[in-house]
Structure 1
Amino acid sequence: MEMLVNMDLWRRFCPSTDSFHSNFFILVLFYVVRPTAGAIKTPSPIDVVIDQSRLNWNSTASDVTFTVEFKNIEFDWMPIEMCRKTRSTSCDLSLEERDSCIRHRVTAWRNGVESEPVEACSRDGHECSPNFTLTAAPESLTVNLKRNHNLHEDHADIMKYSIKLGKKGEQLENPRVTLSSELIDGLEVGETYCVTVQFLLHWKEYGPASCMQCETIPSSSGSKQTQIIVICFVVLAIALLVVFAYVRLFRFKKIKEILQPPYTIPTTLKKPLSGNNYSVVAMSLPEEHCDVVSGLTPIHPRGV
């Protein structure tokens, strides 16, 4: 009975206690539910590729809009008004009178929620993207860079390469800065590694990066060594066979006689000469008559 009286007195002095509990419950529920709603992320664009004058991409969602941004080496990301909040999956860059060596990225929007931006790469040899090929070997991967690029004529060795490497499906990390082709060793056999290459100008990323290329690291070169050994044995056997054939066919008299074509002496050469027998007399040539040269005496003796 005393407890009920105390509660009644509390309600008289604090008439808003019931509303306070309800408001407090709603506030807690809001902060609990809000992260769950924010967990519904907007899917990022995929296959964002740039050529000389057009940017193309794809999306896994159909109810999104896209915004294209550009960035130079001197300023931060800025939107392209012609390709802002668009539902198209391409953007014409031919009307943009800017430096060609700029970077682009695409962001998706859905219900006011922004996706992670995806930067465009070059797959068909952009004028501001490096050209390279990959050569896989046991436990290593060689990035073959082609230095016949127009930018090298303008910047020489100030222009460097940034090589990013990583396993397929993982984030590419630990960029390697180099001036020429790079050999990367210590890789796991059987794993697939992917590489992207981008120009660096004054140690800043310059132009779009080349699109990702991947190669699987082969196992040990035992099979190749076996093939090389087999080829060597075959060549050696052929060489020995040629030498043996030469000795047997060209160094033995019997073999030479067998290979010699048949011949007969004509009968006319075997008959004696008809008529008188003529003795063969050796004839000497007549002596030549030479004029005797008389002695000559110099008019002025030597030393005079």
Structure 2
Amino acid sequence: MLFFVLCVQVAVKVLSEAPPAPPQNIHVDKWNLTWTPATEEGPVNYTVQYRSFDSTVWRNVEACVQINWMYCHVESTKAEAEHGCVMLRVQAGRWGLTSDPAQVCNRHGDSCTPEISLTAQPGSLTVHLNRSHGLALEYGDHAIHRVYYGKEGEPLKEFKDTASSVSIDKLQEGQRYCTKVQYIYYNTLVGLASCTQCELIPESDCNVVFLLQLISKPFLEHHNPICPSPSEERCDVISCISPDDLF
């Protein structure tokens, strides 16, 4: 019994000295912010913060400071930034210690978050974007998209800056790749990023093709043929060729 009590005391002491893990699955849907707790024991509260893209100061959302529930209506933050474009984050707290801040994404595109769709092809992923978004109409070519990408389960560290839709090439076939997109203005992130979307990069559908069946006879007569003479028994064959390789 004494051993059990000591174990409980040690566990409580360890928990009290370690900050909680940040919340998970954080997203906004029509200004309703929700999240789920990290898988750990102990009392945890949450604080929601925001900042505009022209500021470096994070401020608390007044109605959502050290709350015990897992949602917050954040429409009031629209009035705090130009075009209503704010960035949001959530921190977990316990016994005076706070977690690392977890950034918020937006499930649906709006004037402050790009709306995207994906098309996967063998070796590449195309991110479809709208060039005529609200910020572009206001700021022209100074407001574009930052497209983050990477393999599923890995941090999205790679990115491309683009005004419109973009293709990401040289991707590994048979692997899932993910992307998220955020507006940038003069290299400054604006508003909320889109929530991460992932697609499987398909493998090439390439059948065995004989080159002699694809190239006309005059072409073979003009160039060095694969089979120099009819008497030769061996003929080199291209085992796989894609339509793009023919032109």
1:98 aligns with 2:76: no
How far 1:71 moved relative to its partner? 1.2
Asked if the contact 2:183–2:190 (Cα under 8 Å) also holds between the matched residues in 1, the reply is: yes
Higher gyration radius (CA):
1
Name the SS for the 2:127 alignment partner. Answer: strand
Aligned to 2:170: 186
1:86 aligns with 2:79: no
How far 1:178 moved relative to its partner? 1.0
Aligned to 1:69: 49
Go from structure 1 to structure 2 and tell me whether the alpha carbon gap of 1:67 and 1:143 turns closer, same or farther (over 3 Å shift): same
**Distance (Å, rounded) in 1 between the aligned partners of 2:17 and 2:159:** 31
1:118 aligns with 2:102: yes
Residue by residue over 1:262-294, the C-alpha shift from the partner in whole angstroms, topping out at 9 and shown as x without a partner, is: xxxxxxxxxxxxxxxxxxxxxxxxxxxxxxxxx
1:95-244 equivalences under 5 Å are 95-96=76-77, 97-99=79-81, 100-222=84-206
Go from structure 1 to structure 2 and tell me whether the alpha carbon gap of 1:176 and 1:93 turns closer, same or farther (over 3 Å shift): same
1:287-302 equivalences under 5 Å are none
Name the SS for the 2:75 alignment partner. Answer: coil
Give 1:55's aligned amino acid. L
**Distance (Å, rounded) in 2 between the aligned partners of 1:183 and 1:57:** 32
How far 1:177 moved relative to its partner? 0.8
Aligned to 1:278: none
Asked if the contact 1:139–1:188 (Cα under 8 Å) also holds between the matched residues in 2, the reply is: yes
Give 1:173's aligned amino acid. K
Matched residue count: 191
How far 1:94 moved relative to its partner? 2.9
Name the SS for the 1:222 alignment partner. Answer: coil
Say which structure, 1 or 2, has more relative contact order (CA 8 Å, 6+ apart): 2
Go from structure 1 to structure 2 and tell me whether the alpha carbon gap of 1:106 and 1:174 turns closer, same or farther (over 3 Å shift): same
Task: Give structure 1 regions of 4+ aligned residues with deviation exceeding 6 angstroms.
Answer: 36-39
In structure 1, the gaps of 5 or more residues are 1-35, 226-304
Asked if the contact 1:52–1:126 (Cα under 8 Å) also holds between the matched residues in 2, the reply is: no
**Distance (Å, rounded) in 1 between the aligned partners of 2:168 and 2:88:** 29
Go from structure 1 to structure 2 and tell me whether the alpha carbon gap of 1:39 and 1:196 turns closer, same or farther (over 3 Å shift): farther
Name the SS for the 1:82 alignment partner. Answer: helix
Name the SS for the 1:86 alignment partner. Answer: coil
Give 1:65's aligned amino acid. N
How far 1:38 moved relative to its partner? 8.2
Q: Which moved more, 1:202-211 or 1:44-53?
A: 44-53
Aligned to 1:5: none
How far 1:39 moved relative to its partner? 8.0
Asked if the contact 1:68–1:106 (Cα under 8 Å) also holds between the matched residues in 2, the reply is: yes
Residue by residue over 1:51-75, the C-alpha shift from the partner in whole angstroms, topping out at 9 and shown as x without a partner, is: 3332221213562100111111222
- CA-based RMSD of the aligned residues comes to 2.4
Go from structure 1 to structure 2 and tell me whether the alpha carbon gap of 1:39 and 1:189 turns closer, same or farther (over 3 Å shift): farther
**Distance (Å, rounded) in 2 between the aligned partners of 1:178 and 1:101:** 20
The structure with the largest strand share of the pair is 2
Asked if the contact 2:26–2:36 (Cα under 8 Å) also holds between the matched residues in 1, the reply is: yes
How far 1:42 moved relative to its partner? 1.2
The structure with the largest helix share of the pair is 1
How many percent of aligned residue pairs carry the same amino acid?
33
How far 1:166 moved relative to its partner? 1.1
Using the size of structure 1 for normalisation, the TM-score is 0.58
**Distance (Å, rounded) in 2 between the aligned partners of 1:51 and 1:98:** 19
**Distance (Å, rounded) in 1 between the aligned partners of 2:184 and 2:105:** 15
**Distance (Å, rounded) in 1 between the aligned partners of 2:75 and 2:179:** 29
